[in-house]
Structures are given as structure tokens and as C-alpha cells.
Amino acid sequence: MNPPPLPPGLVAFVKRDCETCKLVDPLLGRLGADEPLTVFTQDDLAFPESLTAIDDLQLEMSWHHGIETVPTLIRVGESGIEEERIVGWSRDQWQAFTGNMELGMTLPEFRPGCGSLSVDPSRSDELNARMGGSGLSTRRVDFAELEDDFEAMYDRGWSDGLPLIPPTEARVMRMLDGTTRAADDVVANVAPDLVDVTVEKIAVNAVMAGCKPEYLPVVIAGIEAICTDEFNIHGLLATTMSVGPVFVVNGPIRNQLEMNSGINVFGQGNRANLTIGRAIQLVVRNVGGGRPGGVDRSTQGNPGKLGLAFPEDEEGTPWISLAEERGFDAGTNAITAFCVEGPRLIVDQLSRTPESLTNSIAQGLVATLSPRMVAGIDALLVLSPEHMARYVDAGWDRARFRSELEERLMVNSDDIIRGTGGIDEGLPAGLEGMQLPKFRPGGLHITHAGGPAGLFSSVFAGWVSGPAGSVPVTKPITP
Amino acid sequence: MTTVLDPTNEATPATIERSMRPESLAGLTVGLLDISKPRGDVFLDRVEERLSALGSTVKRYKKPTFTKPAPVDLRHLIATECDAVIEALAD
């Protein structure tokens, strides 16, 4: 869009809410007597008082001509081309600029200008969207005058059941400021509709979810993680098992985003924990087309499917982090996607030795999904701080804990053959006499989070795990 | 009036005509696709018996895993080798 031209001669931009503009008000009246002068006012048509100003209350001229400070004085040539500009009040500058060496002799030598309303942070997004042409390619949807914005989004099927923030152009542009990636950059191909999703579409859904712009890189990395053949979001949606994606965040970004790894870590109360996961799930719904009752056939679902991302409490343990165990350097910002059910508690309030607690946790883990099911399962164990302390005090590191735990996760197949214990579920006959691991080799994932008090840990059990189903995927979070 | 950006994939549903239904399966080649769920083979074995009795030629196929869509090559193979296909969902 070509900017509207400025008239030849002197042009000034001012606002009443600026002491420096008020200071130069009488000078403007005098300048206007000597040569053509056009003054644009940003906030009050009755200002300046020394002459009649042109209405720029909508800030169109200010925005198009890049006014950052008021007063700004511009000299425009006969052809309408800007030749020179000065900002604020400097007696020397104004005198040289106008050729009037008597100008403002009674005024102070120097006063800085004030911020132009056209770059006011509270208005710039709206102005950029209105005037700049946002460059965003997403289809625009106009709600009717009589539609309530929030009801209109429900009516169009965009919601997961909770209210959404209307994704206006200004909000989406602000969201895109959260990443250095181009809006039209394709991030992934989203199942089940197999649609390429751009940074821009993710930003639209992130706005709706309630994310802040700085969350966007985490959301993008989460989308990259789930839209892989290994993670298999399509199968995860389509299965009748009540699993969904749950995300663990590692690295300094956890604290920069003020994510909660402490009290009520899986619950309500933290914007980043809840909205990052929600944005990812909204992308699956709105871009991928995976809706409950459509391709999502989950028998019972789980509340985490609204969206759950939580950070590992890296500071609360000397152990290496989940991301480090998965091959990333310490300090790397990363997000790991797990395909799991909701969290279930593992209660042990009496164990004081690491051996007793490990025995106890192992029994809890064997019971996940069904105590009659072994192998081919993954789980995400989340040790609480008080349980973690048993191991740290005893000098166990992550590798020791894992190996001790895995030794205790061997199940005697004789106990779970179909029909034993009066239960038809179980292993088929013929597999008697074996010691079988509860989890897929490498399928037990361990992290650390929770409030400082409480002898409770949690486990999120997985779905069909491994290459035949879903494998956890970690992606680095990049700006 | 509020203007927002469309959060969906903006796709317009495509309409694809179904293949003609055959009058009879006699003499036709029928593909049976096992999606690899437990006991799907039990169901398909019985279907194969019935189809063979009708005079159909039966070809059996299997997805590598029930958790993922059938690979494109497998779908193409079935489409080129068969006149009709039955997909077994079982547990």
C-alpha cells in the first residue's frame, strides 16, 4: 500500500498529551505565517491552539510516515518527497531547519519529544493489522453484528468445550512475535486430515487457547513432536483407549515461561502448563480435523486431553534431566510428547529406604492398565520431591534407580495366564513359566515434579507402545 | 463486527463417487484386509470360507499394525488385484 502523500512545505505531527508539543505550540503558529505548514494532531482536534490542525486521530498519517516521536517536523519537497525531519525540541536544530535564527529564543534549549501514539504498544498491533496489511494468508471470518463473539466460535465448532480467545488479526500478529519463524513456514503435516500446518495457523490456535506469544515456540515444537510417524497422533486419536498426548518440558524456558513444576503440577492454576497443551490439541482438532466422535473414538477420554504440558523440576534433583537422558545437552530447551492415559497415584507414605520404596513403586507400576498385561507398554513415572529424596539421600542416581526398578518389574507369566485367578483377561496359554518385563525395553520413562510435601508419586501409563503404536518423541524448542 | 482468522484447515470436502456395487461376488476377486487386531483372522477365515463357497477368488492382506493407516503401496496393491475388499475390525 502506498502511504498517503504529505503536502509540500513543513509538516508537523503533535499531540496534546505531550509537554514538548505544548512548548512548541506558539512556534508552529509563527512558522505557518512564513511558509506552508501542515500540522497533524494525534489526540485532540483543538490542539495545537496556534493554528488549525488536520485530524490524524486514527493515526493513519502518523503510522504511514513512521512517526515515532512527537513533535516531529518534516520538510517535504514540491514533489511530495520527504527531504528531512527532526524530532523533539532542540532550539539549534529547529532554527537551522527553518532558517529562522530567532526561533524559540525564550524556550529552553532542549526538550526531548514524547512517544507517538502510532507506536504506543497498546495500539501498535491494531494499527499494524489495520494499515500495514498483515501479510497473513489465513481466511478471515466475519462474525455477524448480532453474534456474540464467544458463542460464534462455539457455533463454528472450534472449541474444545471451554471458551476461546477470539483470534483477531492483531492478536495473531502479536502471537507471531513470539517466534522468529516466518508465518508461512510449514511446521508439520497434521493427521488425520493430513494437512500441512503453518506457523501462522498454529499461532491462530495458540491465541484461541490463551497462550502468550512467548509460549509459541513450545507449541510449535510440540506439534513437530506429535506429527511424526513414531508418535503417531492419528492412531492415538483413533484408538478407543482413553489416551492423549502429554508433554514434559525441559530447559531454562520452563522458568522463563513461569511454568509450574510444583504444587498441583498436573492440575489447574498455571497458564503455561494448561494453554501450551491446549493449543497443540486445538491444532489437532481444527487443522488436523481430529474431533471427539469423529476420528477421535476414545471410549472415556481423560481430562488431560484438554491439554497438559508440565515442566520437569530440574532444580529439585541432582539427577540428569529427562531430556538429557534422551540425548540432549544439559540446558537445551526441549519438549517430549508421551501418548498416555491420565495420571494415577502411587501412594507410599511409610517407606524410608530406597529399596522399600522401589518395591512399592514397582507394584504400583505393574498394576497400570491391567496387572494382567505385560510387554509392549510404556509408562511415564513422575517421582514427587519427597519420594525423590529417599533416593537422593541414599546416593542413588537415575541409572541406579532405573535398573533397580526394572529388576522389580518382571512379572511371572504363570500368574497372568488367561483364566488364572478367575480372570479371563491375560496372556494366552503356552506362555507359562516365563519372567516377562512389564514394560517395553526402554519404555519406562522417569521424570520429577510435584509439591514439596506429600509421599505420593504418579504414573501415566501408555498405549500400544513401540514402533507398532507410539514412541515418545523429543524435539528441541527453538526461537 | 469482529473479524477473526479461521483456525481450521480451510479445506472444502471433496466428493468422491463410490465404486459401483457388484450384483454378485461370484467369479470376482475379493480382498480381505486384516488390520492386525487380535482375532481378526478368526473372522476373516470364516468370511473366506463363505466367499469361496460363493465362487469368489479370495486374496488375503494384512496391515503391519492396526494403529496406523494402511500403507499406500498396500492400498494400491489391493485396488489393482481385487474387484472388492472387506476390511476386518475385530478384537
Q: How far is B11 from chain A (nearest CA, A)?
A: 9
ipTM of the shown complex: 0.82
C-alpha A28 chain-centroid distance? 48
| Residues on chain B touching A232 (C-beta within 8 angstroms) | 67-68
| CA gap A437, A373 in Å, rounded | 10
In B, minimum Cα distance to A235 occurs at B67
| B1 → closest Cβ in A143, A288, A464 | A143
List CB contacts of A111: < 8 A, sequence separation 6 or more. Answer: A19, A20, A23, A88, A89
Running DSSP on this structure, what letter comes out for residue A408?
T
Domain ranges for chain A: 9-132, 150-476
Residues pairing with A198 in the sheet:
A186
Q: How many other β-carbons are positioned within 10 Å of the β-carbon of residue A187?
A: 20
Question: Do residue A201 and residue B67 have CB atoms under 8 angstroms apart?
Answer: no
Q: Give yes or no for a contact between A457 and A346, defined as CB atoms under 8 angstroms apart.
A: yes
pTM score, two decimals? 0.81
> Is A140–B4 a contact, with Cβ atoms under 8 angstroms apart?
yes
User: A141, B5: Cβ pair inside 8 Å?
Assistant: yes
B62: phi then psi, degrees, rounded to nearest 5: -145, 135
CATH class of A9-132: alpha beta
Instruction: Identify the sign of the CA torsion A264, A267, A271, A277.
Output: positive
Number of cross-chain residue pairs from A and B with Cβ atoms under 8 Å apart:
84
Give me the residue spans of the domains in chain B.
29-88
For each of chain A's 479 residues, which pLDDT tens digit applies? 567 889 999 999 999 999 999 999 999 988 888 789 999 999 999 999 988 999 999 999 999 999 999 999 999 998 889 999 999 999 999 999 998 899 999 999 999 999 999 989 888 777 877 776 778 899 999 999 999 999 999 999 999 999 999 999 999 999 999 999 999 999 999 999 999 999 999 999 999 999 999 999 999 999 999 999 999 999 999 999 999 999 999 999 999 999 999 999 999 999 999 999 999 999 999 999 999 999 999 999 999 899 999 999 999 999 999 999 999 999 999 999 999 999 999 999 999 999 999 999 999 999 999 999 998 889 999 999 999 999 999 999 999 999 999 999 999 999 999 999 999 999 999 999 999 999 999 999 999 999 999 999 999 999 988 888 999 999 999 99
| Residue among B1, B7, B69 whose CB faces A142 most closely | B1
Q: Do A235 and B10 touch (CB under 8 A)?
A: no
